[in-house]
Structure 1
Amino acid sequence: MAAFLNQLPALIGVVVGVLGTLLTARLNDRAQWARAQSVRWDERRLEAYSEFGRALKEVAMLAHRLTATTRPHSRSLPIDRQRGLELLADADVQRSKSWEGVLLLGDRDTVRAAREWRWAVTQLDRFARGVAAPDFDWAGAVHHVDECRDRFYVAARESLAMGGDDVAQARWLVDRANAPGRAANT
């Protein structure tokens, strides 16, 4: 019995060591799994945000092209009305599909900003289809779209924990349009 009691501290040390190793391995596995899940969802969020941005940009560009002949100083390439409306309908389907990804994966601030940008682009879409109010201000609406896009990208970058400098385009576009010798690109 004395031999067992002499060995007891070593045995306790081994048991504590094994339990500590098991606990550490479990915590490391859990942390590694959580990191992998985070990366996976960030990748999906990035994909959803990018797809949504491309879809809205397509609708906005088609609205610019459809209205190019009615806006003085437009640098947009005009498109045949019938063909443009068909393309706009297709782009609207993509916009609706991509919206679902943002709703599913986006955080509250990103969804809010996405909703505002989507509504702003819808106003350009409505004008291009000929269903906007008669006093519709195209230049103001385009500027609002640009500001909403900036807010969406700021929220999306925060959602993805992306650093980096200011990527806002609205202010830059206004400064560029107001540069001496340049007509506003409306």
Structure 2
Amino acid sequence: MDTITQLLTIAAVVLGSVTTYVTNSLMERTKRRDTLRVRWDEKKLDTYVEYVGSVRACIYAAVLAYEVTHDIRSMPRTEHELLMDLTEAEGRRALAFERLMMLADEGVIEAAHAVNTATLAIDWRARRLVEGTLTEWRALHTEIFRAINAFHEVARADLGVNGGFAGDRHSARGLILPNARSSSTEE
């Protein structure tokens, strides 16, 4: 009976050790996976913020260039300087988009493509590569902000952010564009 008791004790110790080892291994694996997920979510968030910031810098640079080239605003800077600023902003946007392509899922990438398309339409108007009226210019801005809001929604979903915002109501808020000075400005 002594031998059986000793064998049962040894078996219980071995079983306890194996159980402890397996449990600790699974917990450690889960912890590493969660840490990795959080790390990638932080990188994604930084990338998404950087991308939207670079898009907004492009829009701002395009607005300044457009207003100067269309005699809506006068500035001490030349048209060439403003267009160079726009070129630099576009370069930063393109790099931010490449980083986004490396981290985002397909839905976020598709939304970013829509933002890029709308951003380039504004860029081309500011550079006078495409002509149009001030009303059409304003419509381009409505479209870019709609695209940015759609990007926000899919990026939030990708990051697992709960809640949302009313995209249409948010997009309908006034644009930061000057009013037309006269009816002749509308072309």
The two structures have a TM-score, normalised by structure 2, of 0.84
Contact 1:66–1:80 (Cα < 8 Å) also in 2:
no
Deviation at 1:135, TM superposition (A): 6.6
SS in structure 2 at match of 1:67: helix
Counterpart mapping for 1:84-163 below 5 A:
84-134=82-132, 137-163=136-162
Amino acid in the other structure paired with 2:49: S
Deviation at 1:96, TM superposition (A): 1.2
Contact 1:65–1:77 (Cα < 8 Å) also in 2:
no
- Single out whichever of 78-87 and 111-120 deviates more from structure 2: 78-87
Cα distance in 1 for partners of 2:40, 2:53 equals: 20
Deviation at 1:77, TM superposition (A): 8.0
Gaps (5+ residues) in structure 2? 181-187
The two structures have a TM-score, normalised by structure 1, of 0.84
Is structure 2 residue 21 aligned with structure 1 residue 22? Answer: yes
SS in structure 2 at match of 1:24: helix
Deviation at 1:171, TM superposition (A): 3.1
Aligned partner of 1:44 in structure 2 is 43
Amino acid in the other structure paired with 1:93: G
Deviations 1:141-185 (A, max 9, x none): 1111011000101111111111233163x63353547xxxxx69x
Gaps (5+ residues) in structure 1? 178-182
Counterparts in 2 of 1:48 and 1:26: CA distance versus 1, 3 Å: same
Contact 2:111–2:147 (Cα < 8 Å) also in 1:
yes
Counterpart mapping for 1:163-182 below 5 A:
163-166=162-165, 168=167, 171-176=169-174
Counterparts in 2 of 1:82 and 1:12: CA distance versus 1, 3 Å: same
SS in structure 2 at match of 1:165: coil
Counterparts in 2 of 1:41 and 1:175: CA distance versus 1, 3 Å: closer
Aligned partner of 2:63 in structure 1 is 64
Cα distance in 2 for partners of 1:119, 1:134 equals: 17
Contact 2:54–2:93 (Cα < 8 Å) also in 1:
yes
How many aligned residue pairs are there?
175
Q: CA RMSD in A?
A: 2.4
